[in-house]
Amino acid sequence: MEENINNAIKQAIEDAPERKFVQSVDIAFTIKDVDLKNPTNRIKEEIRLPSGRGREVKVAMFAAGEAATRARDAGIHVITPPEIEELGGNKGRAKKIANQFDFFLSEVPHMGLIGRYLGTVLGPRGKMPRPVPPTLDPGVLATGLRTTVVVKSGDKMTFHAVIGTVDQSQEELLANAMEVYNRVVGRLERGAGNIRSLFVKTTMGPATRVEVVL
């Protein structure tokens, strides 16, 4: 599989039209013979990419006091508790914030407030914040998230994950792709036998099929 995925990455990048921005590279799965109506069969994996994501990953934290200070020192954008209710009353701004950041953290006491005012915005985007206990340094958690992708099928047979950008080397993209592929296959009852199709594509380029070896 490694050779097939490597060839598909090469082809996808070669076929990618030139753009004035750095395109992402995705791997897309379509699975078969899996009952996704049963939530236990749904795939949701947080995967640390060995070569990183190839771009800046933005993290925000709902925090106050000392936790807010530690978050700012770690380069994390801070959203204070009073802002939570304000965002809840301004859906447009709340959606902008939700789209601006890749991951959200929160002090534990604010989780209920966030659910009440921002759950309808953050929840559908899969961006509900991760609670940060007082003993945990938010900077350490943010550092891990900056190399993390979330692979999530929900109830859909087709889903995808970012494996990097076209600026990364072939070796880096392959390492990331194999990490994602192996984690997904490991969650399937019949492994690669549950994969109907597999593609690699750039943001604006055509999809390149990967031959799946059973």
Domain encompassing residue 127: 59-145
The yes-or-no verdict on residue 93 having pLDDT over 90 is yes
Q: Quick one: how far is CA 51 from the chain centroid?
A: 15
* In a shared domain, residues 63 and 121: yes
Instruction: Look at residue 26 and tell me whether its pLDDT is greater than 90.
Output: yes
pLDDT one-digit tens code per residue, 123-176: 999 899 999 999 999 999 999 999 999 999 999 999 999 999 999 999 999 999
**Can you give the CATH number for the domain in which 188 is found?**
3.30.190.20
Choose among 142, 120, 143, 123: nearest CA to 132: 142
214 confidence band (pLDDT: 50, 70, 90): confident
User: How many folded domains does the chain comprise?
Assistant: 2
pLDDT digits (tens, 9 = 90+) for 30-48: 999 999 999 999 999 999 9
**The predicted structure's pLDDT at residue 131:** 96
Q: Which amino acid is at 43?
A: I
- Give the separation between CA 177 and CA 201, rounded to whole angstroms: 12
pLDDT, residue 112, reads 95
* pLDDT digits 0-9 by tens, 179-198: 999 999 999 999 999 999 99
Domain presence at residue 133 = yes
Average pLDDT, the chain: 95
DSSP labels, 135-162: TS-HHHHHHHHTTEEEEE-TT-SEEEEE
pLDDT at residue 87 above 90?
Answer: yes
- pLDDT bracket for residue 69 (50, 70, 90): very high
Q: Which residues contact 113 (CB under 8 A, 6 or more apart)?
A: 81, 84, 85
CATH number at residue 106: 3.40.50.790
Residue 55 and residue 36: Cα distance in Å, rounded? 32
Closest by Cα among 169, 158, 152 to 6 = 169
The verdict on 113 and 157 lying in the same domain is no
